[in-house]
A and B are shown apart, each in its own frame.
Chain A
Amino acid sequence: MYQSTITITLRPSILDVQGKAVEHGIHTLGMTTVQNVRIGKSIQLLVDAKTEEEAKRVTEEACKKLLANPVMEDYSYTIHKV
């Protein structure tokens, strides 16, 4: 078994209005050194695979076909054996 932890973020070219609103909130709390807040998603998967290579392939396919929309999102992931 392999655990994939996938991070999905809006592409840099896309204005993250949610991130902007949260950044504003952080500034209101006095943390004015904070900037460039971006909000994304974290998705965890357990993959029943024999090798890390195979788990990677399945994770990649899930990201490409469903979990991320390449028009607006980037994805990255880490995989470890469990």
Chain B
Amino acid sequence: MSEKIKFGVVVFPGSNCDHDAYHAAKHALYQDAEFLWHKEPDLKNSDVIILPGGFSYGDYLRTGAIARFSPIMNEVIRFANNGGIVVGFCNGFQILCESGLLPGVLLRNSSLQFSCKHVHLRVEHNQSKFTSQSKAGDVLRIPIAHGEGNYFAEADTLKVLEDNSQVVFRYCDETGKITDAANPNGSLNNIAGIVNKEGNVMGMMPHPERACEAELGSVDGKKVFESIINNFVLQIV
């Protein structure tokens, strides 16, 4: 394989963090990146697929509900089912839930307000493909920007998530404490990011792609990208 990892960034009508994700991968992490138009069912040999943030299809019907049926999504689902790494940030997380690649759903924020600010996330463990470059308990400062980020799943689904350590990020205060006050949207168990059972698909409401350069106020988002890249480095060795 080439020495750089290729990030394929899917562009849906209404995506608005596609350029942020592309920029982070290409210019902050020095990897390859390419946009993938949702109507073309071709992942163009990407190593990693990013479903970016935004408001695909205007959030009509439900967030992510219509994007989930875009032609490219059949390929994304096939790629994920074959073990390919797929990440969804914000609206991407919502699309992953709608497509069934991740369990649960993102409801309207309990405050009913769109929330746009930096939050703190506690890294739950570093045994995932998305957190390997952090330590368990690390606190990352990463922005959120969403109106529907209130993670919900039925009790049995939630138990499976917790029992399998599929929760990778939780909203916390700056010291790493999990509190109601630090939960910006009402998510169950302060869940900010989860992985699937196989560990190759991850969705999170916060935007690591917007926290990869000091000029933007935080570089903590790089940890997520560096963890993803590290999977491939390990494969070469």
Contact = CB atoms under 8 A, between A and B. Distances in A.
Contacts, number: 31
Interface size class of B (residues with CB under 8 A): 10 to 19
B105 A71 contact: yes
B65 interface: yes
A18 B108 contact: yes
Nearest to B103: A71
B105 A15 contact: no
Given A18-B112, A71-B153, A71-B154, A66 B65 contact: yes
Contact of B108 (A17, A67, A69, A71): A17
A72 B152 contact: yes
Interface size class of A (residues with CB under 8 A): 10 to 19
DSSP majority for the B interface? loop
A15 B185 CA distance: 13
A1 interface: no
A14 interface: yes
Contacts of A37: none
B81 interface: no
Given A17-B112, A18-B112, A72 B107 contact: yes
Contacts of B104: 71
Nearest to B104: A71
Interface in A61-75: 66-67, 69, 71-72
A26 B152 CA distance: 27
B72 to A, nearest CB: 17
B105 A72 contact: yes
Interface in A2-27: 14-15, 17-18, 21
A17 B148 CA distance: 12
B181 interface: no
Interface string B47-67: 000000000000001100110
B30 interface: no
Interface of A: 14-15, 17-18, 21, 66-67, 69, 71-72
Given A17-B108, A17-B111, A72-B152, 20 more contacts: A14-B152, A15-B110, A17-B109, A17-B186, A18-B108, A18-B112, A66-B61, A66-B65, A66-B66, A66-B69, A69-B62, A69-B65, A69-B98, A71-B97, A71-B104, A71-B105, A71-B152, A71-B153, A72-B105, A72-B107
